[in-house]
Amino acid sequence: MGTIIYFVRHADSPYIEGQERARGLSEAGAKDALKVRDILALEGINVFYSSPYERAIRTILPAADHYGMDVLVEEDLRERMIGDFNPLSFWEAKQQVYNDFSFFFPQGESSLNAQERAVTVLLEIINKHNNQRVVVGTHGDIMTLMLNALNKRFDFGFWQSTSMPDIYKVQLIGQEISEIKRLYER
């Protein structure tokens, strides 16, 4: 079987300046979290991990509750801070940090640094839960960077194509992707 990772990008969350970690889900996002639960309820999940950001936790919490499990929070699964990218648009800034993995904006984090910290945790999870089904509550950017470490086709274009929420079922043999399937997109 191999290990199966379910990358769950968080549901819709209203942007609140300075509340990056604490903001929860919108009303639509809360409804979508129940859809995520219904999909994951059929998958036989063994363990739930998440970014420390409230919106990521709340997106997978109904599924964890369904299984009677806790969500294990990993600090290094947090979203990448883009930093001060003015005068560029958000999209231009994102494209720049994907085009040059070592580039970072002031008060921001490079793709390379974000990828290294998140992949370190991901590999620990894979090793600890070999041949199990693992949910990882995550964010579009850090999810893309983790997948990119496993296969370079996951890039800026992939990031742009993701939705909130989104679920990718990734089957691994060791640390190699053998199959990937999108289970849900908004």
In a domain, 53, yes or no: yes
Indicate the average pLDDT of the chain. Answer: 95
Summarised one tens digit per residue, pLDDT across range 143-176 is 999 999 999 999 999 999 999 999 999 999 988 8
Q: What is the CA radius of gyration of the chain?
A: 16
In a domain, 172, yes or no: yes
Domain holding 150, by residue range, is 24-185
Picking from 9, 5, 122, 125, the residue whose alpha carbon sits closest to that of residue 56 is 9
In a domain, 46, yes or no: yes
CA–CA distance, 93 with 105 (Å, rounded to integer): 8
In a domain, 32, yes or no: yes
10 pLDDT more than 90 = yes
In a domain, 163, yes or no: yes
SS3 string, 95-131, reads HHHHHCCCCCCCCCCCHHHHHHHHHHHHHHHHHHCCC
Output the pLDDT for position 36: 98
∠ CA 96-99-104, nearest 5°, is 50
Output the pLDDT for position 20: 82
**Tell me, what CATH number does 70's domain have?**
3.40.50.1240
In a domain, 9, yes or no: no
In a domain, 6, yes or no: no
Stretch 103-123: mean pLDDT, rounded?
A: 97
CA–CA distance, 173 with 159 (Å, rounded to integer): 24
In a domain, 11, yes or no: no
Q: pTM of this prediction?
A: 0.95
| Tokens encoding 111 | 């793709």
Stretch 28-56: mean pLDDT, rounded?
A: 97
Task: Specify the number of domains making up the chain.
Answer: 1
Round to the nearest angstrom and report the end-to-end CA distance of the chain.
Answer: 28
Picking from 139, 136, 8, 147, the residue whose alpha carbon sits closest to that of residue 81 is 139
177 pLDDT more than 90 = yes
Output the pLDDT for position 128: 96
Confidence band (pLDDT; 50, 70, 90) for 186?
confident
Output the pLDDT for position 123: 96
Is the distance from CB of 136 to CB of 76 less than 8 angstroms?
A: no
Confidence band (pLDDT; 50, 70, 90) for 16?
confident
CA–CA distance, 121 with 134 (Å, rounded to integer): 13
18 pLDDT more than 80 = no
